[in-house]
Amino acid sequence: MLIIDAHLDLSMNALQGNRDLLSSAYTIRTQESGMPGKGQGTVALPEMRQGRIALSFVTLFARSTGRPSPHSDFASPTQSYGIAQGQLAYYRALEETVPVRIITDSENLDSHIDDWRTWENEKAHDTSDHNHTPPLGFVISMEGADPILHPSQLEVWVNSGVRLIGLTHYGPGRYAGGTGTEIGLTELGQPLLAEMERLGVTLDLTHSSDQAFWQSLEHYSGLVLASHNNCRALVQHQRQFSDAQLRAIFERDGVIGAAFDAWMLHPGWVTGETPHEAVTLNTVVDHIDYICQLAGNSRHAAIGTDLDGGYGREQSPSDLDTIADLQKLVGLLETRGYSDDDIAAIMHGNWLRFLREAWT
């Protein structure tokens, strides 16, 4: 089964985390052994190929909220701009040196997926060893718009390949309030949304405060997504979206990618205290199923793992060792009674449809 993962912080882990993602996850763990907070990674390019992650939304991430924090939140917008530009350069360097494609339009997208489907078909009819998958596809997303110095600069980022933007992350972003705040759009937020709509940049509502969520929908009429978000009805926290918010995304024909961070999956999760076995891939399916039941169909549910998004195996589903284990979701969805077509939609089809519509 081909998979599309709508949220991976590859450049953050490669640059701020100093991980060589061309090595396997197991090699990286060995290299990081004994380092505080390290040695638990789940994502690297070899495991992405092994897991048939044909396409992923890969992030530029550099906050500037006025609350500096090492490697994630920078003291000035010019610093966050520089960091995000470096992350963008990292993806371009991968494209120059290894089998990676940066996907920016429908023609690129369809050609890329056709390559993967052709390879899968050939592999199914040939028992010889096939180690050389097609290139991994990357759609560049900005998680938090702080690196955009001013709304009129957006076109420069678009010309560089950025196709999806979330206005904010944790805290008081420059363009909107994020997780843990009750701040709506800032004075920069509405002009940026207008530029995004003019240039065809898709809005990711993930991490928006409740106020910013609803104000963004008022000022932006294009397609919206929630790249890595779960359900507040199952885990009571502002980071998750309420039923009303989920329905608002359905009404825009948007898609919600299920996130794999354990605290977003299990009420009251405390890393190091809650038994790891309390969260499994079946817990992820609970959130996927909730979205499907709420919508009455499987059209809006998908995957946006956020694996290695500031955590590793210790805070991922206990039956997931690396990102290659996303293939286990197929059997779990079958057990829940989902049809082959529904499973294909959740694993990749809904994101394909969404991108084609966004880029038409």
User: What's the pLDDT tens digit per position in 79-133?
Assistant: 999 999 999 999 999 999 999 999 999 999 999 999 999 999 888 766 554 458 9
Q: Please give the tally of structural domains in the chain.
A: 1
Average pLDDT, rounded, for the chain = 96
Q: What is the pLDDT of residue 132?
A: 82
User: What's the pLDDT tens digit per position in 125-149?
Assistant: 665 544 589 999 999 999 999 999 9
The Cβ of residue 27 has, within 10 Å, a number of other Cβ atoms equal to 13
User: What's the pLDDT tens digit per position in 271-322?
Assistant: 889 999 999 999 999 999 999 999 999 999 999 999 999 999 999 999 999 9
358's tokens: 């966004």
CATH classification of the domain holding 286: 3.20.20.140
**Which residue segment(s) compose the domain that 13 sits in?**
3-359
> Contacts from 201-204 at CB under 8 Å and sequence distance 24+?
201/154, 201/158, 201/162, 201/163, 201/164, 201/165, 202/163, 202/164, 202/165, 202/358, 203/164, 203/165, 203/166, 203/167, 204/141, 204/143, 204/164, 204/165, 204/166
Percent of the chain whose pLDDT exceeds 90 = 95
User: What's the pLDDT tens digit per position in 145-196?
Assistant: 999 999 999 999 999 999 999 999 999 999 999 999 999 999 999 999 999 9
Average pLDDT over residues 214-236: 98
DSSP-based three-state secondary structure for 179: strand
Q: What is the pLDDT of residue 126?
A: 66
Strand partners, 301: 256
Contacts of 244 (CB under 8 A, 6+ apart): none
Q: Residue 53 in contact with residue 325, Cβ under 8 Å?
A: no
Q: What is the pLDDT of residue 128?
A: 54
Q: What is the pLDDT of residue 127?
A: 52
Tell whether the model's pLDDT for residue 329 goes beyond 60: yes
Average pLDDT over residues 188-215: 98
Q: What is the pLDDT of residue 37?
A: 84
